[in-house]
Structure formats: C-alpha cells, structure tokens
Amino acid sequence: MRRVRVKRYEPMEEKQVREEFDTGLAKIRHEIKSQLVPHGFFGSVTCVDIAGADQVPTGATIAIAVKGRTVERSFSRQDIERCHLRVGGVVLSGIIAMVEELSK
C-alpha cells in the first residue's frame, strides 16, 4: 500500500496561499458590478469556494441575483488567480454571458 503525504498549511502560510485567489475574487465582484450598471441593474454577487482535499479551494461558484433572477457559473482556481491584477479571458467572457442572460 502506498502512502500519500498531505501537506497541511499553517495559518500564516494558508493566508499567503489564498491571497491571489481572494484578490482575484474581489476584482471579479467589482467587474460584475461594473458590468451590471450600464444595464440599469443593481444586484448581489455571492461567491462560494469549491473546497479541495487539502483545505485550499480548487475554484469558486459565483452567483449574481438581480430582480428575482439568479445566474451562476463556476471558475477554476487558476482562472480566478489570473484575475488578481485585471479581469480577463475566460472569466470576463463568463461575466459578460451571465449579465446578458440576466438582461433577457
């Protein structure tokens, strides 16, 4: 039988591991809200981490609720971390698609 070592993060180390992820989520929330404004929408944005085996999120599900309608989409950890400076790529395309779906 083969043993698998699981790395457990100390509290300070876990903060550093989550920093780019949390910064990316904050940028994504801000981008969503700025995309809603031109459509005259005001809504809530919620993010739920998709937990991995080692307590580090493997991604997140982002939901937008506007006027009783809700849309959600999941993004991988790598996609979210790429947004720590600026939202773009797959995430921006997903945000635009979610806002368009709400405006129908």
pLDDT exceeds 60 at position 10: no
Instruction: Tell me the average pLDDT across 81-96.
Output: 95
Distance CA 80, CA 27 (A): 9
What is the rounded average pLDDT for all residues in the chain? Answer: 87
Angle between helices 89-103 and 11-36 (to 10 degrees): 40
For the whole model, what pTM was predicted?
0.82
The separation between the first and the last C-alpha atoms of the chain, rounded to the nearest angstrom, is 55
Q: Report the 10 Å Cβ neighbour count for 21.
A: 20
More confident residue, 56 or 36: 36
Domain boundaries, the chain: 11-16+42-103
Query: Which residue, among 86, 84, 87, has the nearest Cα to 99 in the 3D structure?
Result: 87
pLDDT exceeds 90 at position 51: no
pLDDT exceeds 60 at position 7: no
Q: Are 93 and 47 in contact (CB under 8 A)?
A: no
